[in-house]
Amino acid sequence: MTSAATDNLALLAQPAHLAASRFHLLARKLADELTFGTDPSRFVGSGIDFAQSRPMQLGDSVRSIDWRVTARTGRLHVKDYEASKRLGVYIIVDTSASMAAASSRVSKHDIAVWTTAVLAQLALNRRSPVAVVSGSDRAILSRPTSSRAMVTRWVETLRTQGWNERTRLTDAVRSVEALSMNRAIVAVVSDLYDPSAPDAIKRLAQRHDIIVLRPRDRAEEGSLYAGFLHASEAEDPAGEFIATGRARWFADDGSSSTDSTTAGFVGSGIDFAELWTDRPLGPVLARILSPKRGPARVAR
């Protein structure tokens, strides 16, 4: 199956409508297509690098003798190397009501579930332990594990949309901050409608590598060009309104909250990508997950 074929299936299919085996098979295929052979990975920390020389002790292999230091000091020394480290990967997933709202067949929630499944498979393929954390009302809070069966069960709990869930993204970010003692990669998959979340994410970026993936729906641009609309705020049913499809229902003051959020993330060294529900998922993930060199990146 080609990359385009797999990506089109992932784009068009709603996770909740697929058999579990089919869903996870497609996620694995897309993850395999995003694996760049032996290229460096975002999921790998320090490699097997020289750390120091020290005096030789009983049990040390003669193969590890540092002959230069030995010749200079007149005492046998051996080389110590840093062990290969696989960074733990935390995936914080927002499944609140605003993620379930959609103007087309595929919702932001659907995109978030696909993204979570693919990220988890990518990390496991690189032998990095994975944890899935709920950014809403679902009781998912775990420490990283290398068990595919366990990670699959966590992803399974996300596949059904939640129409009444509240956003608890800030709480989830703080939970990861408390859990993660060592440097880790943290992927945040959310539409970021928790106003305090960006600051919490930027604080987390002081200790960890952060990737923010923001699912977007065309309705969030403010107009759909489709007749009259009777709508309500996803997480505030009291906020009902009626508008025409050509009218913008967001305040048009010349500013963009998305642009300001993006600038804040990039300024903090956080990679940021928008995942539109009407665009293929694979190319954006490929750009944002490629080995990081230089400053933070933005992918759309």
Complete DSSP assignment for 124-151: HHTT--EEEEESSSS------B--HHHH
Strands, DSSP E only, in the chain?
50-55, 77-81, 88-93, 130-134, 184-189, 209-216, 228-233, 236-244, 271-276, 298-299
Whole-number percent of the chain with pLDDT over 70: 73
pLDDT at 45 over 90: no
pTM for the model: 0.75
Segments making up each domain of the chain, as ranges? 3-40+86-299, 50-81
pLDDT of residue 100: 86
Residue where the block lists tokens 């393929």: 125
Read off the pLDDT band of 46 (50, 70, 90).
Answer: very low
Torsions phi, psi for 177 (to 5 deg) = -60, -40
